[in-house]
Amino acid sequence: MARQIVECIPNFSEGRDQKVIDAILDSIRAVKGVRVLDHHADSDHNRTVITCLGDPQAVEEAAFRAIKTASDLIDMDQHQGEHPRIGATDVVPFVPIQDMTVKECVDMAERLGERVARELDIPVYLYEDAARKPERTNLENIRKGQYEGLKDAIKNDPDRAPDFGPSELGKAGATVIGARAPLIAFNVYLNTDDVSVAKNIARTVRFSSGGLRFVKAMGVLVDGLAQVSMNLTNFNKTAIPQVMELIRREAQRYGVQVRHSELVGLIPQKALVDSAVWYLQLDQFEDNQILENKLEVNHDEDRFAFLDELASAEPTPGGGSAAAFAAASAAALVAMVARVTVGKKKYAGVEKEMQDILVRAEAFRITLTDAIALDAQAFDAVMAAYKLPKETEAEKANRASAIETAMETAARVPLDTCENALQVLRMACTVAEKGNINAITDAATGASLAVAAITSAGANVRVNIQSLDDANKIRDKFGEQLAAIEHETRTYHNMIREILASRADIRLL
């Protein structure tokens, strides 16, 4: 089963204060399972756009934390900028990337909107595919009057009441949350400072005033240049070259030219390829003519590169890396069982618990995957320490100290693998007991892999602490920690046997 991946592109009303921007970024990065792919800050717009993606539950949590951070640090009563906005966190769209549907993104938007309103007391509007009213599908309708105009309208106009939260704005303003298909934020700069030209061109280009379908546009002044600022909502139906050439033609009517263009955030590769094909008139072009695509086709041949390395005559990677690989596989199976449980009516009573396990299992999967390389690096450091010179007394002392430090790390890494694998084993027992019965053997496999990881990583811990100095308290400490982990492992191993026998009449060896 493919891993679910969702993209989130929150827009914040701050593009000048780097400390605020960094705090928002840190709040997102603090959530395991979420990657920040890009962020773009514009001082004229006074706006920052962040692109992040990951597991749906983790991304949803990261979005909430970012909204909370922005509400604490951004005062909309003091905010000024070129870009329309109604809140500190102005808009939060969710975009399906892999094994996700727009409907699932709508569900995320609704959950997040309700939580933001309940815990942060911020009015929330739902838009695009999550909109509950037809007129709120378009973001510009919700932003009508901007923050200043909404302060009065939200209190007195029933049509402007939020979908969640109070009908009153605090200093954080309101937030718009929704779900949509991938969007391209594309800006074209003109070689003039006459913003009226950009506004006229935007009026010609945008669909709402009779222009191109799937194009939203406005004219603004940025860095002393007139800019046509656009969102392209479906590049497959209205291609970038079509938009660009219309702008170029309209600019000539006003005696100006396109100076340059820019992307805000990320763009699908296909959109760039389509643009290149159009401009170069490559009528017979095929995607497999792209070198990187050819390399990707051959990627399957490299799927077992780790196993090839493991089987080689080289000392690394070795047993510790294999243990981490087994533990990461166990975490992946726990995540899979949780995924096939979430959303099923039969298991509604454990929905929240399974969602929490899913987030944690994905975080452990990433940590344990990283441990595969860490273990090899730790042993490489040990071998490097043993190769240090030992001719003089000073060299001998330096070598002995380096060996002691390297051996301690070489013991600590597999010990961490044991501890993390134990956490995975606990979750495997839970999903075996409460999760989708159709995936119970996957839970059993995850539990068995976790036990195997602890057994093998534990062996590496024991052999490495034997090389530590008797006076090193770490030696005894690591030994005690490992003994406690192994004791608890036996308890959970017995537990998984009982669960499988009682729930599915499965007997483990």
Residues 432 and 498 in one domain: yes
Last residue of a domain, one of 128, 155, 179: 179
- Laid out side by side, the sheet with 184-190 consists of 215-222, 225-232, 184-190, 258-264
Residues 369 and 489 in one domain: yes
User: What span, in angstroms and rounded, lies between the C-alpha atoms of 336 and 135?
Assistant: 39
- Sequence-separated (6 or more) residues with CB below 8 Å from residue 107: none
Residues 167 and 204 in one domain: no
Cβ atoms of 22 and 59 within 8 Å: the answer is no
Cβ atoms of 214 and 230 within 8 Å: the answer is no
Residues of the domain holding 139: 5-179
Residues 57 and 70 in one domain: yes
Residues 371 and 260 in one domain: no
What six digits make up the tokens of 270? Answer: 């296909």
Q: Residue 46 falls within a domain, yes or no?
A: yes
Instruction: Based on the residue annotation, tell me whether 83 is a catalytic residue of this protein.
Output: yes
User: What span, in angstroms and rounded, lies between the C-alpha atoms of 21 and 47?
Assistant: 10
Q: What is the pLDDT along the chain (509 residues), one digit of tens a residue?
A: 457 899 999 999 999 999 999 999 999 999 988 999 889 898 888 999 999 999 999 999 999 999 999 999 999 999 998 899 999 999 999 998 888 888 999 999 999 999 999 999 999 999 999 999 999 998 989 999 999 999 999 999 999 999 999 999 999 999 999 998 888 989 999 999 999 999 999 999 999 999 999 999 999 999 899 999 999 988 888 999 999 999 999 999 999 999 999 998 778 888 899 999 999 999 888 887 887 776 655 544 455 678 888 898 888 899 999 999 999 999 999 999 999 998 888 999 999 999 989 989 999 999 999 999 999 999 899 899 999 999 999 999 999 999 989 999 999 999 999 999 999 999 999 999 999 999 999 999 999 999 999 999 999 999 998 888 777 688 889 999 999 999 999 999 999 999 988 887 777 66
Q: Is the peptide bond before 123 cis (omega within 30 degrees of 0)?
A: no
User: What span, in angstroms and rounded, lies between the C-alpha atoms of 176 and 191?
Assistant: 34
Q: HSE-up of 82 (CA within 13 Å, CB side)?
A: 22
Residue 450: name the closest of 323, 336, 321 by CA.
323
Residues 311 and 335 in one domain: yes
Q: Residue 509 falls within a domain, yes or no?
A: no
Residues 203 and 106 in one domain: no
Task: Give the amino acid at 165.
Answer: G
DSSP string covering 290-344, please? Answer: SHHHHHHHGGGGGTTHHHHHHHSSSS-S-HHHHHHHHHHHHHHHHHHHHHTTTT-
Cβ atoms of 37 and 65 within 8 Å: the answer is no
Q: Residue 279 falls within a domain, yes or no?
A: yes
User: What span, in angstroms and rounded, lies between the C-alpha atoms of 133 and 125?
Assistant: 10
Q: Is 449 helix (H, G, I), strand (E, B) or coil?
A: helix
Residues 348 and 437 in one domain: yes
Beta partners for residue 124, in sequence order: 164, 175
Residues 381 and 423 in one domain: yes
Domain count, the chain: 3
Residues 463 and 322 in one domain: yes
- DSSP annotation of 425 reads H
What six digits make up the tokens of 347? Answer: 């298991």
Give the domain CATH number at 344. 1.20.120.680
Residues 105 and 210 in one domain: no
- Predicted pLDDT of residue 9: 94
Q: pTM of this prediction?
A: 0.52
- Predicted pLDDT of residue 297: 52
User: What span, in angstroms and rounded, lies between the C-alpha atoms of 330 and 350?
Assistant: 21
User: What span, in angstroms and rounded, lies between the C-alpha atoms of 68 and 353?
Assistant: 24
* Among 39, 40, 83, 493, the one annotated catalytic: 83
Q: Residue 219 falls within a domain, yes or no?
A: yes
